Amino acid sequence: MAGVSNFQITPLLRRGELSDLHEKVAAGTRISEADALRLFQSTDLNGLGAIAAMACERRNGRHASYIINRYINYSNYCILSCQFCAFARKKRDADGFQLSVEEVVGKAREALSLGITELHIVGGLHPSLPFNYYLDMLRALKALDSRLQLKCFTAIEVLHLAWLARKTVRETLEELLGAGLNSLTGGGAEVFDPGVRQKIARGKESADEWLDVHRTWHQLGQRSTATLLFGHVESLADRVDHLRRLRELQDETAGFSGFVPLPYQPENNRIEVDHPPTGFDCLKTIAVSRIYLDNFEHVTAYWIGMGLKLAQLALDYGADDLHGTIVEEKIFQMAGVSGRQLQPETEMIKAIRETGRIPVQRDTFYQRIKIWETPAASTEVAEPSSPDAGSRAEAECP
Ligand code: SF4
């Protein structure tokens, strides 16, 4: 009997721990940084998940999305040596690579036959490729299929290209936009705190520079995503500070289409981490992000970093998107993530449907392309959208 009564009482007590925040979110009131820290410090994962699921359902109903995309890394040569990075190579390394524009187009052509709507293209800060290489690549991909959405480059790549081209960030982004770039990726945000950046990514752009690249892109009427690399040397307060800066920029520009928390991968790099992110931590981080980032429409559970099984579970903890079918994602692969680099669409649909949600194929800007109302039948909704075709309210990285 004692065991039964403990089992019944404990969840009630724990739910009470967060009941004031549950009420706050239910009333549509924005939570503070102190509230977010309290959520991170709580061990009441289910109480936290219930609040996050409520916030998610209010925005996205019972729909959960995925995208049919392909990753292409054009090169892993990089002039920097971020401590956490297992991807970058120097010219002397035997496993360094760089693709010609023709090779990139060849990979894109293959992927188009699989029905992709998006190419996600990032690389290292290449020591010698000229600015024209990037412009030619974008133009050649658009010439292949003008509907293909090109989500390319992290903020640090943009800064590198600006330096190469001897242009301002705005001028560089305008040229990339003119050549066919549709969205910036959210990569490279890592953790904004300068002390943490110094420990994991010395020499990389500062938080202000990362935010300024995205601000400028948004001011051009364009959209991007944002990330947080969590579970290494940062504190919970550092995570909250990172989310705060993203929320502030989103208040200013409304240019972020979604948020993608990335669990740190501990293998093959130079940072010693005692407690890399667990399943518990992944779910908690997704839940707190969903609750705190009340001006972001979408939160992604990045299956390649946490596995499809945990990403599926994250749909009950505030995520509304599983990201992409993805072929060949070298960055996480080289960081030690094992397993498949391709998730068939049927597996994504099954994973979403099992949670009681309606699967939706989306485009880069989270516009719905296909809604799978029943297991057998889908409703075509739209072609992939252009950035200004969808509303901003509806409407990722080394
Ligand atoms: S994280 Fe990016 S900038 Fe840093 S070493 Fe790796 S590829 Fe280069």
Q: How far is the CA of 398 from the centre of ligand 1 (A)?
A: 6
Residue 156: is its pLDDT beyond 90? yes
Residue 167: is its pLDDT beyond 70? yes
Q: Which residue type occupies 256?
A: F
Tokens at 36, concatenated: 């977010």
Q: How far is the CA of 6 from the centre of ligand 1 (A)?
A: 50
Euclidean distance between CA atoms 111 and 219, whole angstroms: 32
Enumerate residues lining ligand 1, CB below 6 A.
78, 80-82, 85, 87-88, 124-125, 156, 201, 204, 398
Q: Which of 71, 77, 78 to mutate to test the pocket of ligand 1 (most atoms within 8 A of CB)?
A: 78
**How sure is the predictor about 318, in pLDDT bands with cuts at 50, 70 and 90?**
very high
For 56-380, which CATH class? alpha beta
Cβ within 8 Å of residue 262, ≥6 positions away: 227, 228, 229, 230, 302, 305, 396, 397
Residue 158: is its pLDDT beyond 90? yes
**How sure is the predictor about 7, in pLDDT bands with cuts at 50, 70 and 90?**
very low
Residue 95: is its pLDDT beyond 50? yes
Tokens at 233, concatenated: 């040397």
Beta strand 321-324 pairing with 256-263: unpaired
341-359 pLDDT, tens digit each: 678 889 999 999 999 999 9
Quick one: which atom of ligand 1 is closest to the CA of 87? 6
Classified as helix, coil or strand, 42 is: coil
254-272 pLDDT, tens digit each: 999 999 999 998 876 778 8
Q: Which of 75, 80, 159, 198 to mutate to test the pocket of ligand 1 (most atoms within 8 A of CB)?
A: 80
Euclidean distance between CA atoms 330 and 387, whole angstroms: 27
**pTM of this prediction?**
0.90
Residue 389: is its pLDDT beyond 80? no
**Which pLDDT score is estimated for 269?**
73
**Which pLDDT score is estimated for 114?**
85
Mean of all residue pLDDT scores within the chain: 89
Tokens at 1, concatenated: 């009997």
